[in-house]
Amino acid sequence: MTAKKATPSAPHESIALYEKLVATRPDVERKGASLPYTSVGGNMFSYLSADGVVALRLSATDRERFMAEHGAALMVAHGIVQKEYVAVPESLLADTARLALYFAASLDYARTLKPKATKRS
């Protein structure tokens, strides 16, 4: 019996734009077979939801600025408001150069968080 390969559940266009964003940071690896995400030290700092919305984990200051400048809201996943994540507006997702600044801020913030223990030996 062969293992079933995970297929992306987000729209292909959103996946391509997310991958282009992640590529702005060669030091970051895109993870996740079906739902792409990035993490550092065991802390996720960005992901692409099944419906094609990119979520970025930002510090309180960056989060407030991002929401004010882009009319964005906190990310809601499975009915739960994710207090540290903003939902990237679709119009901004296509502007990789502008969004890359926030992606870098998200990475910087994640690097300040306490690393999580790994399950690997």
**Domain of 53, in residue numbers:** 12-112
Residue 103 within any structural domain of the chain: yes
Q: What is the pTM of this model?
A: 0.89
Residue 3 within any structural domain of the chain: no
Residue 99 has pLDDT above 70, yes or no: yes
Residue 2 within any structural domain of the chain: no
Residue 4 within any structural domain of the chain: no
Residue 81 within any structural domain of the chain: yes
Confidence of residue 6 (pLDDT cuts 50, 70, 90): low
Q: What does DSSP say about strands 54-57 and 74-77: parallel, antiparallel, or unpaired?
A: unpaired
Residue 5 within any structural domain of the chain: no
Q: Average pLDDT in the 26-44 region?
A: 95
Spatial separation of the C-alpha atoms in residues 120 and 45, rounded to whole Å: 20
Mean per-residue pLDDT over the chain, rounded: 92
Contact 9, 69 (CB under 8 A): no
More confident residue, 63 or 8: 63
What does the angle CA 7 – CA 73 – CA 109 come to, to the nearest 5 degrees? 75
Residue 18 within any structural domain of the chain: yes
Share of the chain above pLDDT 90, in %: 83
Confidence of residue 33 (pLDDT cuts 50, 70, 90): confident
Instruction: Work out how many domains the chain is built from and give that number.
Output: 1
Q: Average pLDDT in the 56-69 region?
A: 98
Spatial separation of the C-alpha atoms in residues 9 and 28, rounded to whole Å: 22
Instruction: Residue 40: give its domain's CATH number.
Output: 3.30.1460.30
